[in-house]
Amino acid sequence: MKDHPILKAARGEKTDYTPIWIMRQAGRYSERYRKIRAQAGSFMELCKNPKLAAEVTLIPIEEIGIDAAILFSDILVPLEKMGIDVSFVEGKGPILEPKAEKLEDVEKLKIPEPEKDLPYVLETIQLIKKRLTDRPLIGFSGAPFTLASYMLEGGSSKNYIAAKSTMWNEPELWDALMSKLAETVIEYLSSQIKAGVDLIQIFDSWMGVLSKDDYEKFVFPYTERIVNELKKRYPEIPIIHFGVNAGHLLEVNNRLSVDVIGLDWKTEIPFALERIDKSIQGNLDPVTLFADEKIIEERVRKILIEGLKARGHIFNLGHGILPPTDPKKAKFLVDTVHKVSKELRG
Ligand code: CP3
C-alpha cells in the first residue's frame, strides 16, 4: 500500500501515471448512492450506519475505477458529539443548533472521544479496510475555521457575518472555540488513522472568504497546531489541505507541514507553483463534466501537463462533483486522466 501512486504523489515521488480521486465521489450523482440513502432514511443516519456507509464508500471504486476511496461521512458529524444538533434539510443544507454564541456556550462544548462517541465512524473504516485491499482509504475532517463558521452561522452562509464579527469582536470566545475545535480534530483524525486510513484531507473549505491578514492571525495557528501534532504522532501519514478560492492564502499555507495543497479551479496551477513547493491536488472545474468528451480531454491534458511541474500531483476536481453529473462522464474522466498521464510520461 505504501507504494500506491496516490501516496507516492503525496510524498513527491515519481509515479507511472497521475492518480485521481474526486471530492464527493460517493454522492448523489450515483443512482446506487441514492438507493442506499433512501434505504438508510436520512443522510445523518447513513453516516452512522457502518455497513451502509462502507457500501457507499466503495461505490466509486466499482463504478468509475477511482484510485482511492474516501470515508463516507461528513465534516459536521463530530459536531453532534460536541453537543450541537445537526440536521440536513432538503434544499436548505445543514442546520446547526444551538449556535456557539456566548463564551458559556463554548465552555459547555465537549471534546468528543472518538472511540466512545463516534464508534460508527471507526467501524466504517474497519469495514472498508477489510474489503479495500489494493487502494488507499482517505480519512478527513473539517478544519476549525470551516467548522466554527457552521457553528456560529447555524448553517451555510453567504457573507460569514457571525463568524467574522465573532473573530474580531470576541477574541476570547474565538480562541476558546478554535482551540476546542483544534483539539477535537486532532483526536478525531488520530482515531481515524488508528482505525486504518492511509492518508487524510483537512477541509478548510471556506477559508478563502478571509483576507490574508485575518487568515494568518485568526485561523492559521489552529490549523498549524493540528498538522504539527498529527505529524508528530503519525509522520508517515500524508496530509492534504484544501479550501476553495484560496489562491491568496497559498504562501501562508505553504508554511504548514502538510504534504499536499488542494486547489480549486480558479487557482491556476502555474500561479500556485510560484507560491508553494508542496505536491498539489486538483483542479478541474466540476462543471467541465457537462462538456463534450473532447473538451473534457483537452482540459484534463492541460492540467496534467501543468501538474508534471509540481513536486507531485493528485488529480481531482476543484470542488465536489455536482449531483446532476452523468456517472459516465465521471468514468470518462478517470479513464482519461489515466490514459493521458501515461502518454505524457512516454
Ligand atoms: O467526498 C466524499 O464522497 C466523502 C463524503 C463527504 C461528504 N461531505 C458527503 C456529503 C465529505 C468529505 C464531505 C465534506 C463536507 N461536508 C464539506 C467539505 C467539502 C466541501 O464541500 O467543501 C462541507 C462544507 C460539508 C457540509 C455539507 N454536507 C453541506 C454544506 C451539505 C449539503 C450540501 C448539499 O449539496 O445538499 C452536506 C451534505 C452531504 N455531504 C452530502 C454528501 C454526499 C449530500 C447528502 C445527501 O443529500 O445525500
DSSP secondary structure string for all residues of 142-186: E-HHHHHHHHHHSB--SS-HHHHHHHHH-HHHHHHHHHHHHHHHH
* Beta strands at 93-97 and 85-89: parallel, antiparallel or unpaired: antiparallel
Output the CA 74–ligand 1 centroid distance in Å.
6
Tell me phi and psi for residue 317, to 5 degrees.
Answer: -80, 165
In ligand 1, which atom is closest to the CA atom of 323?
Answer: 35
Tell me how many degrees the CA angle 122-126-130 measures, rounded to the nearest 5. 170
Closest residue CA from atom 33 of ligand 1: 93
Q: Chain-wide mean pLDDT for the chain? A: 97
Q: How far is the CA of 164 from the centre of ligand 1 (A)?
A: 23
- So what's the ipTM on this one? 0.95
pLDDT of residue 269: 98
* Best CA proximity match to 148, nearest among 55, 49, 75: 75
- The percentage of residues in the chain with a pLDDT greater than 70, rounded to a whole number, is 100
Query: How many H helices and E strands in the chain?
Result: 17, 9
CA distance 186 to 225: 9
The strand pairing partners of 140, in sequence order, are: 201
Query: CA 4 from chain center: how many Å?
Result: 19
Distance CA 229, CA 232 (A): 5
Query: From the CB of 42, is ligand 1 less than 6 Å away?
Result: no
Q: Whose CA is nearest to atom 31 of ligand 1?
A: 93
- Is domain 5-344 annotated with CATH 3.20.20.210? yes
CA–CA separation, 186 and 230 (whole Å) = 7
- Residues ≥6 apart with Cβ < 8 Å to 339: none
The rounded percent of the chain whose pLDDT value lies above 90 is 97
Instruction: Determine the distance separating the centroid of ligand 1 and the alpha carbon of 70, expressed in angstroms.
Output: 12
Give the pLDDT confidence score for residue 264 in this predicted structure: 98
User: pLDDT of 187-231, one tens digit each?
Assistant: 999 999 999 999 999 999 999 999 999 999 999 999 999 999 999
Q: Is the pLDDT of residue 346 over 90?
A: no
Pocket mutation for ligand 1, best pick of 74, 121, 265 (most atoms within 8 Å of C-beta): 74
Cβ 27 under 6 angstroms from ligand 1: yes
Q: What is the pTM of this model?
A: 0.97
Mean of pLDDT values over 299-314: 98
Any idea what DSSP says for residue 331?
A: H
Is a pLDDT exceeding 90 seen at residue 100?
no
Higher pLDDT among residues 90 and 198, named by residue: 198
Nearest atom within ligand 1 for CA of residue 47 = 9
Q: Is residue 139 within 6 Å of ligand 1 at its C-beta?
A: no
pLDDT band at 61 (very low <50, low <70, confident <90, very high): very high
pLDDT for 90: 82
- CA of 136 from ligand 1 middle (Å) equals 20
Is the C-beta atom of 205 inside 6 A of ligand 1? yes
Cα–Cα distance for residue pair 341/124, rounded to 1 Å: 33
For residue 145, give the nearest of 85, 70, 81, 226 by alpha carbon: 226
Q: Per-residue pLDDT for 134 more than 90? A: yes
- Does the beta carbon of 52 lie inside 6 Å of ligand 1? no
For residues 6-28, one letter each, b for 16 or more C-beta atoms within 10 angstroms of the residue's C-beta and e for the rest, the string is bbbbbbbeebebbbbbbbbbbbe
Q: Which residue's CA lies nearest to atom 42 of ligand 1?
A: 27
Q: Is the shortest distance between the CB of 281 and ligand 1 below 6 Å?
A: no
What residue ranges do the domains of the chain occupy?
Answer: 5-344
pLDDT digits (tens, 9 = 90+) for 136-193: 999 999 999 999 999 999 999 999 999 999 999 999 999 999 999 999 999 999 999 9
How far, in Å, from the CA of 43 to the mean position of ligand 1?
Answer: 10
